[in-house]
Amino acid sequence: MSVPRLGWQDHMFCWARGLLPYGIAPVRLEGAFWGQCLERVLTDMVEQDDDPKAPPLWILTLDYDSVWEHDAVPRLLTYAVASGFDVVAAVQMKRKDDQPLFTMRAPDGEPAKEVRRDHFIYNNVVEVNTAHFGLTLIRADALKKLPHPWFLGTPNEEGKWGDGRTDDDIHFWKVAKEAGLKLGTCPRVVLGHAEVWIKWPNRSMQALLQHPADFWDRGGTPPDEVWK
């Protein structure tokens, strides 16, 4: 895990009940630069996987805002090992909007805008273009194929960090794809994404939820439907 100084208590209790019963002890690296910390801790683990006669080591990555069921890790590992994929992530949703936290390519190579529901029902692992690191298994010997840096943020053509930039995590998926790694997400294992919401009373004195990003995008004001 790449972690900040403070974290979610819900996540901490999830890894306690979701890792320790299976003999898995988390390894953390704290710092201000998420990508640098995660790459350093992953590199250390890859260098420990030096026995060519032993089964490939799988590395589990976690985000500090991940929430999952107590048996999610062994289930994810079962599907990952049987799949032949190099990287397998649980299904997670983005913060703020209703989009899943993975992307796929259509047969013509363009980003897929819609995917049939049965594609996720009939396949234990489906191929993706990008995903996340919230609850993700990576085959250690596959990481050895990747050139460093694995995580690198790049600004857009104007040298700015707005639209058109490449974030640290997206750089990883791009490099992994170029190296021929098989990337997937597992529809059989879902992952919660801890998030704060602001709750207001609406005009009917019922709960009205607002995302913090929306609050600040509106100049620090509640939704129009708030009680007045």
Average pLDDT rounded to a whole number, residues 79-92: 97
8 Å CB contact between 194 and 94: no
Q: Do strands 183-193 and 66-67 pair parallel, antiparallel, or not at all (unpaired)?
A: antiparallel
Closest of 109, 104, 111 to residue 89, by C-alpha: 104
CB atoms within 10 A of CB 105: 14
**What domains are there in the chain, each with its CATH number?**
2-188 (3.90.550.40), 196-228 (no CATH)
- Phi–psi pair at 32, nearest 5 degrees: -80, -20
pLDDT digits (tens, 9 = 90+) for 149-194: 999 999 999 999 999 999 999 999 999 999 999 999 999 999 999 9
Task: Give the pLDDT confidence of 25-62 residue by residue, as tens digits.
Answer: 889 999 999 999 999 999 998 888 778 777 778 999 99
The predicted structure's pLDDT at residue 97: 81
109-150 pLDDT tens trace: 788 888 899 999 999 999 999 999 999 999 999 999 999 999
Per the listing, tokens 């913090």 go with 212
Would you state the pLDDT for residue 19? 95
Provide mean pLDDT across the span 193-203. 95
Q: Three-state SS for 107?
A: coil
pLDDT classification of 220: cutoffs 50, 70, 90: very high
pLDDT of residue 135: 97
Residue 104 pLDDT grade (very low, low, confident, very high; cuts 50, 70, 90) = very high
Nearest to 24 by CA among 141, 188, 151, 137: 137
pLDDT at 27: 92
Predicted confidence (pLDDT) at residue 205 exceeds the cutoff of 90? yes
For the chain, the average pLDDT equals 93
Q: Please state, in angstroms and rounded to a whole number, the distance separating the CA atoms of residues 147 and 175.
A: 8
Is residue 224 packed enough to be buried (19+ CB in 10 Å), middle (13-18) or exposed (0-12)? exposed
Residues comprising the chain, all counted:
228
